[in-house]
Amino acid sequence: MQDKIADLGLESQKIGLLTSDKFYDKTIIFFNSASMCGYTHQLNEFQEIYNDGLAVPIAIPTNDFGSQEPGDNYEIHQFYNQKYGVAFPICTKQTVEHDFFMRFGKPKWNFNKYLFNRKHDFVKKFDSEVSPRQVLSEK
């Protein structure tokens, strides 16, 4: 049987290759993140969504826009955990040329969001200014 999440080829430092069984029956919001971006405050709302069990946010750090994610994987995790208390998965740093973005739409800036339903089917892509809670209203 096809694993829709594993096929995306994304890895988290904490849980390794992301697979569907790790997020069984959960709505997922992937987003390209950057520590030094003006939208970084959205990490607070993503953490609230995660804490409330509404969805699993998954950050995909990229340094493609304004060099706003210059750190390595360890530094990124430290920043997200210490400054925002992030407990949801953070992928290893990628570029917007990663297959994920090629399949579902290259982001125009940091914090573009990609909504996947509970069956892990792609639903819709959202721009940076759309809040994480607004994304959930589309599911």
Provide the annotated active-site residues.
37
* Sequence-ordered list of residues with C-beta below 8 angstroms from that of 59, at least 6 positions apart, any chain: 31, 32, 33, 43, 46, 80, 86, 88, 89, 90, 91
Amino acid at 112: N
Amino acid at 59: A
> Taking a C-beta distance cutoff of 8 angstroms, is the pair 91, 63 a contact?
no
Name the token pair of 75: 């530094």
Residue the block writes with tokens 């946010």: 57
